[in-house]
Amino acid sequence: MSSFDQDMLDELNLLLKFPTDSLLQGLKIHHDASQSMVNAASRLYSKGLITQPDGGYLTDLGIDLADHARHIQSAMCPRKVATKSKMLAYG
């Protein structure tokens, strides 16, 4: 497989929703969540990345993967490019 499929993207997006402030905070997928979100949570649970089929907490592996997902997201987000005039002002 050479690219992320939609299921993987849904799982990555769900991992990004878990709180980063504390390992004591989890996530609950509510009954009115989209079916893709419910399915993503179920897949993450079956892979051992979260503690409950409807969210819960990240497992140790889930924490690692969520961290990687945040790094990928950060690297892929557009960055502001300094203009030449701003660069000259600094140097």
- List, for residues 75-90, the tens digit of each pLDDT value: 998 877 655 555 555 5
> Model-level pTM?
0.80
Question: Residue ranges of the chain with pLDDT lower than 70?
Answer: 1, 81-91
Residue 17, SS3?
Answer: helix
Q: Residue 56: its pLDDT value, please?
A: 95
Our count of domains for the chain comes to 1
Residue 40, in any domain of the structure: yes
- 1 assigned to some structural domain: no
Domain that includes residue 77, residue range = 6-90
Q: Which pLDDT value is given to residue 81?
A: 63
Query: For the residues of 59-90, what is the DSSP string, one character each?
Result: -HHHHHHHHHHHHHHHHHS--PPPPHHHHHHH
Residue 10 lies in a domain: yes
Q: Is residue 52 part of a domain?
A: yes
